[in-house]
Amino acid sequence: MQRVYLDFNATTPVDAAVLDAMLPYFSGDFANAASIHTPGQRARAAVETAREQVAGLIGASPKEIVFTSGGTESDNHAIFGIVNSALASGAQTAPHIISSAIEHEAVLNTCQALEKRGVAVTYLPVDKNGLIDPAAVQAALRPETVLITIMHANNELGTIEPIAEIGRIAAQADVYFHSDAVQSAGKISVDVKALGVDLLSLSGHKLYAPKGVGGLYIRNGTRLQQLLYGGHHQRGARPGTENVAGIVGLGAAAKMARKSLAEDAMRVSGLRDRLEREILARVPDARVNAAGAPRTPNTTNIIFPGVEGEALLISFDLKGLACSTGAACSSGAVEPSHVLTAIGLSPEDARASLRFSLGRHTAEAEIDFALHVIPAAVAQLRELSPTYRRSSVVAI
């Protein structure tokens, strides 16, 4: 049976060239990068080359890159690091954070953990396209605000937030600004200086590197308390023996993404736009969520009214098509997506929405296959849905 994978926002395969770059560091060049002997220094050189490659992707200095285990650790390090540093300074009032209602759980749950410790958090609303109003960020600022943390691109909708505008507001207020760029790095241009961020998170497995490796950009001079304690690896910023093979893979993927970014974006956005157009033409009542927003070129989120998304997902899977009901980290959740309800969807419409995310190597023939599977599966499930039939009668 043919299988087509349209869930690249959940994870990507390790690119063949990335794997080739990694393989020597599992065997011949296996040494610990902290060792001072020659094999160790070869591993160290590979890590530092990767640091330069990741820095090059986001316009940073290599010294501003810290390697982590992935996006979740990077988010935690950034948020806890800024708040704990503020707490350690002996401030008389509890620190305040500004975030948004549509952040990834790695940010939301970190903020909620801090709330239990007395930290105040403002969760800004978004409009129907998932966009944050920079004026709302300005209005939310307080004298005790120590951090703004707003994602660059949303994982479910693809919506690209006005980060540069928010960065200017943060700079004028002298407040640290963190952005989760896990879903944007490698898909669209990310320049930390142009965006005005002090901290930025990224993850290897979202850009054709392996799982279990990521990075955190920390602007030089940022007062950030470390998250983990141990040895003096990475200048003391993140202890623990470096995952040399994973780091090499992340570096190779960053180099590849930087080289092919514009070409990949143009090709993939063309396929995404065709998928959207044809679904809307072939599936009555289907709608694209956040269609009016600037979006990452590979992502579309579509409502299929009258159908449960989980049932539709299973139907697609049985026919060979893989997509998602939302964030992979939230799969199996009973509640509708917090992102979709935040943009104003009813719980029913949120549960009827599916995310399709394309990859660098998605082919035209795979879009053809998806367009063959999707309308038929939706029609079949709607035949069994009294909810959809009732809504159709009302509409008449």
Count the helix, strand and coil residues of the chain and give each as a percent rounded to the nearest 5. 45, 15, 40
Q: How far apart are CA 149 and CA 78, in angstroms?
A: 9
Q: Is 230 exposed, middle or buried (0-12, 13-18, 19+ CB in 10 A)?
A: exposed
Buried b (16+ CB within 10 A) or exposed e, 376-386: ebbeebbeebe
Structure token digits, residue 29: 């060049």
**Catalytic residue (choose from 84, 329, 344, 348):** 329
C-alpha 253: how far from chain center: 16
Q: How far apart are CA 340 and CA 329, in angstroms?
A: 15
Buried b (16+ CB within 10 A) or exposed e, 11-25: bbebbeebbebbebb
Buried b (16+ CB within 10 A) or exposed e, 46-62: bbebbbebbbbbbebee
Q: How far apart are CA 72 and CA 251, in angstroms?
A: 19
* Residues in CB range of 309: below 8 A, 6 or more apart: 325, 351, 352, 353, 354
Q: How far apart are CA 374 and CA 376, in angstroms?
A: 6
Q: How far apart are CA 186 and CA 203, in angstroms?
A: 10
Q: How far apart are CA 163 and CA 294, in angstroms?
A: 12
Structure token digits, residue 288: 């694209």
Q: How far apart are CA 368 and CA 379, in angstroms?
A: 18
Other CB atoms within 10 A of residue 41 CB = 13
**CA pseudo-torsion sign 150, 254, 266, 106:** negative
Q: Is 329 a catalytic residue?
A: yes
Which residues are the active-site residues?
329
